[in-house]
Amino acid sequence: MTESDPLDLGVARQAFEDSTDFTIGLEEEFAILDPDSLDLVDRYEEFRAAAEDEPALRDSVAGELIASEVEIRSGRAETMAEAIDLQQQRRSALFGLADRLGVLLGSTGTHPWADYRDQEIIDTPHYQRLKRDLGWVAQRNNTWSLHVHVGIEGADRAIAVCDRLREELPLLLAVSANSPFLDHRDTGLASVRTEIFTRTFPRCGIPGRFNDWSEYADFVQTLVRVGSVVESTQLWWSVRPHHAFGTVEVRICDAQLSAAESTALSGLIVALVAQTALDLDAGRLDRTEPLADREIEENLWRAIRYGMEGRLVDFRAGREIEARRALDQLVERTAEARGALGIEVEFPDVNGAVRQREMLASGATIEDAYRESVRSTVETYSHRRAPSE
């Protein structure tokens, strides 16, 4: 995938008409850390410069708002196996580069103690404009996430998939929840990252339904006309049609502690997007009334607060369901797509938020818990043992 930024809605629509079903792109964000203190360090520009000399990284390293963050991208893959292989190669190269630069990379949704007031916004026109336009909102957003792109042919079909995916996003967040700590405290939330980013940025969180491309395009064109947006990447919704790639992009998830969890979560998202498209094509969703915004919002809050330790609401049945059971049902429901795309998913018994809290419960400090989390990240994403303390 190579990125451009068409706000010409005709060009964007054509990207979907020309798209290929179920191509895949993965994007993982990492915190850049001092190896001794684990404080955030502003070293992105060094990553960017060094990546120019490495073929595996030249087109796959990207910046995301703050100078203490680096993103690695798989690029377009035709299959899940190819996407995993590409991402593993690029992760390994990225972590090797981090070794040479003398830094560590962490993968939690938030940094447990970094002061957002100390973070520098990277010096690109896009991010400097966000700094001017959003002020405190941009400065406050020191968060890390996982984004998954899935190709969908047809602009109206892509909007229909986005509309149907809205009600699945709270469960995906619960599965991925990996940000319990902020400001040197246990927040009591499973994903405080979601409160920071999703609740403060404009045009963010779970969007309303658009029904078809025409309705979506009319809204975006209005935003352009009144000066609210000047590029499509200012549409930060948790699921969105990506104008340049012709993909449905799912953006709800926290960054994952381990590579295996990131890969499993990515596979589940790809299967869910594909299954939704297949169900729409077959008319299997015609008899199911979409959930109301207020119902989705109730489940989103439960996912933010409790993650996989909580319960979601099955509004169609009028009862609660354990998040773990809801995950099992989703895995079962995507069996057709997983079989067709060769996707297997397996999640640990507890996710990142729970594991971090378990360390605190055993007597570790937040600093100890974060160091152990970083060690897990380095070992699993780089396939090398992390340096000892």
Residue 126, pLDDT score: 84
DSSP state of 200: T
Residue 124, pLDDT score: 87
388, part of any domain: no
Task: Collect all residues with Cβ–Cβ distance below 8 Å to 98 and sequence separation of at least 6.
Answer: 32, 47, 104, 105
The mean pLDDT of 230-256, rounded to a whole number, is 96
Structure tokens at 61: 């390293």
Structural domain containing residue 101 = 9-382
Do 256 and 107 meet the contact criterion of CB atoms below 8 Å apart? yes
168, part of any domain: yes
Of the listed ranges 16-20, 37-41, 147-151, 385-389, the one predicted with least confidence: 385-389
Q: How far apart are CA 262 and CA 176, in angstroms?
A: 9
The mean pLDDT of 194-210, rounded to a whole number, is 94
Residue 80, pLDDT score: 97
- Flag whether pLDDT at 386 surpasses 50: no
Residue 387, pLDDT score: 47
2, part of any domain: no
Q: Domain holding 115: CATH number?
A: 3.30.590.20
Confidence class for position 5, pLDDT limits 50, 70, 90: low
- Flag whether pLDDT at 50 surpasses 70: yes
Residue 385, pLDDT score: 52
pTM of the model: 0.95
The mean pLDDT of 22-49, rounded to a whole number, is 97
Q: How far apart are CA 112 and CA 48, in angstroms?
A: 25
- Flag whether pLDDT at 288 surpasses 90: no
Do 9 and 68 meet the contact criterion of CB atoms below 8 Å apart? no
Residue with tokens 């916004």: 121
Express as a percent the part of the chain with pLDDT over 70.
Answer: 97
4, part of any domain: no
Residue 85, pLDDT score: 97
Distances (CA, A) of 299 to 85, 96, 164, 169, 292: 34, 40, 15, 9, 11
Residue 2, pLDDT score: 39
The mean pLDDT of 141-156, rounded to a whole number, is 97
Three-state DSSP class for residue 241: strand
Confidence class for position 384, pLDDT limits 50, 70, 90: low
389, part of any domain: no
Confidence class for position 1, pLDDT limits 50, 70, 90: very low
Residue 4, pLDDT score: 46
Total domains in the chain come to 1
117, part of any domain: yes
Express as a percent the part of the chain with pLDDT over 90.
Answer: 89
What would the pLDDT profile of 250-278 be if each residue is shown by its tens digit?
A: 999 999 999 999 999 999 999 999 999 99
Do 93 and 35 meet the contact criterion of CB atoms below 8 Å apart? no
Confidence class for position 286, pLDDT limits 50, 70, 90: confident
Of the listed ranges 169-178, 183-192, 230-239, 259-268, the one predicted with least confidence: 230-239
Spatial CA neighbour of 98 closest among 138, 168, 51: 51
What would the pLDDT profile of 310-347 be if each residue is shown by its tens digit?
A: 999 999 999 999 999 999 999 999 999 999 999 999 99
- Flag whether pLDDT at 248 surpasses 50: yes
Residues facing residue 46 across a β-bridge: none
313, part of any domain: yes
Helix pair angle (9-17, 213-225), 10° resolution: 150
Do 31 and 260 meet the contact criterion of CB atoms below 8 Å apart? no
126, part of any domain: yes
Spatial CA neighbour of 139 closest among 52, 74, 226, 197: 197
